[in-house]
Amino acid sequence: MNFLRKYYYGDIPGENLGGGKSSEAKEWPLWEVFIRSKQGLDHKHVGSLHAADAQMAIENARDVYTRRQEGVSIWVVESKFIHASNPDEAESFYEPSNDKVYRHPTFYDLPDELTHM
Amino acid sequence: MSVQELEQIFNDKIENEVRIEPRDWMPEKYRQTLIRQISQHAHSEIVGMLPEGNWISRAPSLKRKQILIAKVQDEAGHGLYLYSAAETLGITRDQMIEQLHSGKAKYSSIFNYPTLTWADMGAIGWLVDGAAIMNQVPLCRASFGPYSRAMIRVCKEESFHQRQGFETLLVLSKGTDEQKAMVQDAIDRWWWPSLMMFGPHDSDSQHSEQSMKWKIKRFSNDELRQRFVDMIAEQVKLLGMTLPDPDLKWNEERQHYDFGPINWAEFWNVVSGNGPCNKQRLDARKKAWEDGAWVREAAVAHAEKRATRKEMVAA
Q: What is the mean pLDDT of chain B?
A: 95
Q: Compare all CA atoms of chain A with the CA of B84 and give the residue at the minimum distance.
A: A48
What is the reported pLDDT for A13? 64
What is the reported pLDDT for B168? 97
Please indicate whether, in this complex, the C-beta atoms of A1 and B92 are within 8 angstroms of each other.
Answer: no
What is the reported pLDDT for A10? 63
What is the reported pLDDT for A68? 82
Those of residues 44-103 in B touching chain A at CB distance below 8 A are: 73-74, 77, 80-81, 84-85, 87-88, 90-94
Look at residue B148 and tell me whether its pLDDT is greater than 60: yes
What is the reported pLDDT for B51? 96
| Phi, psi of A36, rounded to the nearest 5 degrees | -95, 115
Q: Which residues of A touch B80 (CB under 8 A)?
A: 47, 49, 64
Look at residue A22 and tell me whether its pLDDT is greater than 50: no
- Mean of the pLDDT values across residues B147-174? 95
pLDDT above 90 as % of chain A:
46
Look at residue B179 and tell me whether its pLDDT is greater than 70: yes
| Chain B interface test: which of A6, A16, A21 (most B C-beta within 10 Å) | A16
Q: What is the mean pLDDT of chain A?
A: 82
> What digits encode the pLDDT tens for the residues B55-67?
999 999 999 999 9
What is the reported pLDDT for A1? 42
pTM: 0.89
Please indicate whether, in this complex, the C-beta atoms of B296 and A88 are within 8 angstroms of each other.
Answer: no
Please indicate whether, in this complex, the C-beta atoms of A16 and B92 are within 8 angstroms of each other.
Answer: yes
What is the reported pLDDT for A93? 85
Which of A41, A38, A79, A74 lies closest to A59, judged by CA?
A74
Amino acid of residue A82:
I
Look at residue B265 and tell me whether its pLDDT is greater than 90: yes
> What digits encode the pLDDT tens for the residues B190-238?
999 999 999 999 988 887 889 999 999 999 999 999 999 999 999 999 9
Amino acid of residue B7:
E
pLDDT above 70 as % of chain B:
100
Q: Compute the nearest-CA separation of A103 from chain B (Å).
A: 26
Please indicate whether, in this complex, the C-beta atoms of B73 and A55 are within 8 angstroms of each other.
Answer: no
Q: In this structure, are residues A58 and A73 in contact, taking their beta carbons and an 8 Å threshold?
A: no
Q: Does the beta carbon of B159 lie under 8 angstroms from any beta carbon of chain A? A: no
What is the reported pLDDT for A27? 76
User: What residues have CB less than 8 Å from B154, skipping those under 6 apart?
Assistant: B78, B81, B82, B136
* Cα A87 from chain centroid (whole Å): 14
Tally of CB atoms within 10 A around A46: 23
pLDDT interval class at A26 (50, 70, 90): low
Q: Which residues of B touch A93 (CB under 8 A)?
A: none
Q: Which residues of B touch A2 (CB under 8 A)?
A: 28
> What digits encode the pLDDT tens for the residues A68-115?
877 899 999 999 999 988 877 777 888 888 888 888 888 899 999 998
Look at residue A4 and tell me whether its pLDDT is greater than 80: no
Which of B164, B189, B203, B211 lies closest to B40, judged by CA?
B211
Q: Compute the nearest-CA separation of B311 from chain A (Å).
A: 15
- CA dist., res. B253 & res. A30, Å (int): 55
Nearest-CB residue to A88 (from B25, B28, B153): B25
